[in-house]
Structure 1
Amino acid sequence: MKRLFTAFPALGLSLLAASWNANGAELPRLRFSYGDWEIACDNTRTCRAAGYDSENSSDAGNNDGAGQRRMSVLLTRKAGPDTLVHAELQIGTYEDTQPAAPLPRTLSLTMTIDGKEHGKVAVTGDNPTVDLAPGQTQALLAALTRVSKIAWTDGPFTWRLSDAGAAAVLLKMDAFQGRVGTPGALVRKGARLETSVLAPLPEPVVRVPALDDRAIDLPAPRLAALRQALKAPADTCTEPDNIDGTPGDIAVWRLTGGKLLASLPCWRAAYNEGAAYWVVNARPPYAPRLVTTAGNGYASGIIGSSLKGRGLGDCFSFDEWTWDGKVFVHSSEGDTGDCRLVAPGGAWVLPVMVTAVQPARPTNRP
């Protein structure tokens, strides 16, 4: 099941992208999926590729009669010459998909590729995600470039990893990191020097000034004037009022540099809702500048957005916008992978935008 994230546009992004581009070229990113595999590469050139059990249960079933067992593998590789791939295995913990017979608290899983054993990994109920050993990782990477049968087994319990789409995803990783044709490429190896591989990029730094985190109350006349000034796109903010039809409440926080942050309800869906956030002048004229219509929380200088991909809650998208004293910088973006019932909240964190946020101590006004 591919992610089903509803696309409510974060309309302030063009403004924020301009602030990034003023300091340099547009930052690289990649999001791609094919078959049972997907990849996300962020602005530091780190790539994360996730694979799952087959969505065709007849291909992914196990021999204990309990049906398809959910699982996923994550391959992480940082940019730069001679970097290794880090591999993690996660067995499914989403309660609605667990078999009637509970699993043992501790599992000693034997990794097999085309029937050949490649050592064991230990999985416990407290830690369903484990690292693969370097040798297991190398065997797995080789298997993913061809048609292979990959499984982890403990007695009657089996988890099978699909290879469908893996080669295409790994080739995307090689291309994004400039590895195609080098000895370290995962798919298309060659003799081109490893020194030609793209170097990692540093995380952009966002420094948050000292802020008072408490919402503030504006006098009624100023609040009414602010409401008149806040204009959200009608095609996006379809439900700015409360469920009972009364006007949605305005929340206001004090920023720095004579600015305020103001928020109003914007839209509601079956299992998500979003609010619009504007930066405004502390005194009229308010001159509002829209940051996003997809926010659902603010604290410590950061507007956050976390949206379910579907009601089952097995996949989310996430964004953050951080106040740097002048504008809200788009400081985080990504999702938790495909909607595959692997784990509550999603199997992995797959960012396409990362930053180093340096918070200041909040100041509390008397």
Structure 2
Amino acid sequence: MTLNGLSRGVALSALVLSALSIAGCGDKDAAKVPAATQVASPSAPAAAAPVLQIRPETKIFRDWSATCGNDGTCWAFGFAPEFAAGWVRISLAPGPNAQPQILFGYWPDGEAKGAGPLSLTIDGRAYPAVLGAASDAETPIGEIREGARAALDAMAQGKVMIIRGASTQEVSLHGAAAALLWIDEKQGRLDTPTALIRRGDRPAALVPIAPSLPTVTPAPAVDQAAFGDQNQRLPAALRARTEVGDCLKESAMPAVSDMVMSARLDARTELWAVPCGSGAYNVTHNWYLTGPGGRDPRPAMLAGSEGPGSDPVMQDNATVNGAYDPKTRTLSAFAKARGIGDCGAAQTWAWTGQGFTLTQESVMGQCAGVPSDLWPVTWRTR
């Protein structure tokens, strides 16, 4: 299943992902890398460690995807063919001392007996794994703690990779080398001993360190008497807006039309959520800021990591499965691309007193059984 075939409500979540995606290419890109940076002469004075300059980005390499977040952490994912539930995740923090982590997961055949030892087999060679902390009885997750670098070398050059446990699941290696090389380039590791794939003799000290994260300070908590997500009625000024009326028509069923939410943000500002359609497992809301009593409504801008206006179709004030938590002053959304929630987009914004600021965003564009807490984090803040 892909994001392109979803219902209207689900399509809104796909648009969040498309704003982050960039058209990809295959392993042929492995040869297209910048020349190595020159190393300063021994007589040059010692320089401070360079700071990584990076922006959130996702790129597709055949059957693999690679994502880097604003903090410099990058992930490469390989997936089982034909949308089967199987995946391999390689993650690497920025900086010269970071070490790669390899996780993998699958859904065992329902008739399989016993858990069985977990391993990745690449071209016939087994790389044993331990059971990861995020595992459960139905969806084991393995972690390769010994020989991770050897496993990466095998992935980059291999032809067949199989997850082995209670049953087996093949994961494609088409695009693995290009995805790993792209991460080396994004993190400034090319031709250093720290590189995932193209290692060399450039000093590790030249690998940039993590950038400073943006700081977001939520506004003080305020009393929520008479506000909440139960028995709320939209103020007259908000109902009078044309697009709000259109949303209410889309949400004609009482189970959806009654899903009005509200909150007091401060003495002068209220927050209102208008239900605007639903699918099998997604409910869309449009959010508005108003004065006291719902006066002077205006859309609440909810920018993604690409900034406001990056998506020409989805409104900047729309969420899928959104909710506001007055205790933390955060608005969250979890757009599912299918019902089990193994793909889509998750975002959180904090109310600062001036507006809502994005504090975290994670995305997963392939429906392959990856738990949401293991998705790539494209944006994070302090």
Sort the TM-score into its range (normalised by shorter chain). 0.7 to 0.9
- Residue pair 2:218, 2:351 contacting (<8 A) in 1 also: yes
- Per the alignment, residue 293 of structure 1 pairs with 318
- Structure 2: which amino acid aligns with 1:330? L
Within 5 Å, give how 1:49-88 maps onto structure 2: 49-55=76-82, 70-88=85-103
Q: Which moved more, 1:307-316 or 1:123-132?
A: 123-132
Cα distance in 2 for partners of 1:149, 1:245 equals 49
- Per the alignment, residue 22 of structure 1 pairs with none
- Residue pair 2:61, 2:179 contacting (<8 A) in 1 also: yes
Unmatched 5+ stretches in structure 2:
5-9, 20-52, 302-316
Cα distance in 2 for partners of 1:34, 1:162 equals 11
- Please state if 1:187 is matched with 2:197: yes
- Per the alignment, residue 343 of structure 2 pairs with 315
- Per the alignment, residue 375 of structure 2 pairs with 349
Partner residue of 2:275 out of 265, 273, 284: 265
- Structure 2: which amino acid aligns with 1:131? E
Structure with the higher fraction of residues in helix conformation: 2
Partner residue of 1:7 out of 4, 12, 21: 12
Cα distance in 1 for partners of 2:226, 2:127 equals 60
- Deviation by residue 1:214-261 (Cα, 9 ceiling, x = unmatched): 36369x999213433x564899x5855432699767533111262211
Identity score, percent: 24
Pick closer, same or farther for the CA change 1:317–1:281 going to 2, 3 Å.
Answer: same
What RMSD in Å do the two structures reach over aligned CA positions? Answer: 3.6
- Per the alignment, residue 73 of structure 2 pairs with 46
- Deviation by residue 1:102-137 (Cα, 9 ceiling, x = unmatched): 331x321344332234445458754712321231x1
Structure with the higher fraction of residues in strand conformation: 1
Report the TM-score, using the length of structure 1 for normalisation: 0.73
Cα distance in 1 for partners of 2:261, 2:345 equals 24
- Structure 2: which amino acid aligns with 1:130? G
- Residue pair 2:71, 2:213 contacting (<8 A) in 1 also: yes
Cα distance in 2 for partners of 1:217, 1:346 equals 30
* Structure 1 residue 190 displacement after superposition: 3.1
- Please state if 1:113 is matched with 2:122: yes
- Per the alignment, residue 64 of structure 1 pairs with none
* Structure 1 residue 196 displacement after superposition: 2.4
Cα distance in 1 for partners of 2:252, 2:346 equals 24
Aligned length: 317
Cα distance in 2 for partners of 1:225, 1:164 equals 55
Within 5 Å, give how 1:249-260 maps onto structure 2: 250-256=260-266, 258-260=268-270
Cα distance in 1 for partners of 2:255, 2:334 equals 25
Report the TM-score, using the length of structure 2 for normalisation: 0.70
- Per the alignment, residue 91 of structure 1 pairs with 106
Pick closer, same or farther for the CA change 1:27–1:263 going to 2, 3 Å.
Answer: farther
Cα distance in 1 for partners of 2:123, 2:285 equals 51
Unmatched 5+ stretches in structure 1:
14-25, 57-67, 93-97, 357-366
Please give the secondary structure, in 1, of the residue aligned with 2:273: strand
Cα distance in 1 for partners of 2:337, 2:190 equals 33
* Structure 1 residue 32 displacement after superposition: 1.6
- Residue pair 2:127, 2:144 contacting (<8 A) in 1 also: no
